[in-house]
């Protein structure tokens, strides 16, 4: 997944919009966006596992 795709994903799933995320990328570099993406997808995966457990 490209950094631009990660920014779009984060904009769709967090309180940040694309412009804010692009500014964060400019200030903090791609590593910052990659770390945000990892944290968010880990949270989403955990939520899905919890939901699956509740449904079983």
Which tens digits make up the pLDDT trace of 1-54?
Answer: 999 999 999 999 999 999 999 999 999 999 999 999 999 999 989 999 999 999
CB 11 within 8 A of CB 18: yes
pLDDT at 56 over 90: no
Look up the pTM and report it: 0.82
The pLDDT value given to residue 3: 97
Q: Which helix (H) or strand (E) holds 23?
A: helix 18-28
């Amino acid at each position: 997944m490209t950094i631009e795709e990660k920014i779009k994903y984060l904009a769709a799933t967090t309180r940040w919009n694309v412009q804010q995320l692009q500014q964060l990328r400019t200030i903090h570099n791609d590593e910052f966006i990659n770390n945000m993406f990892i944290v968010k997808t880990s949270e989403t995966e955990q939520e899905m596992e919890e939901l699956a457990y509740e449904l079983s």
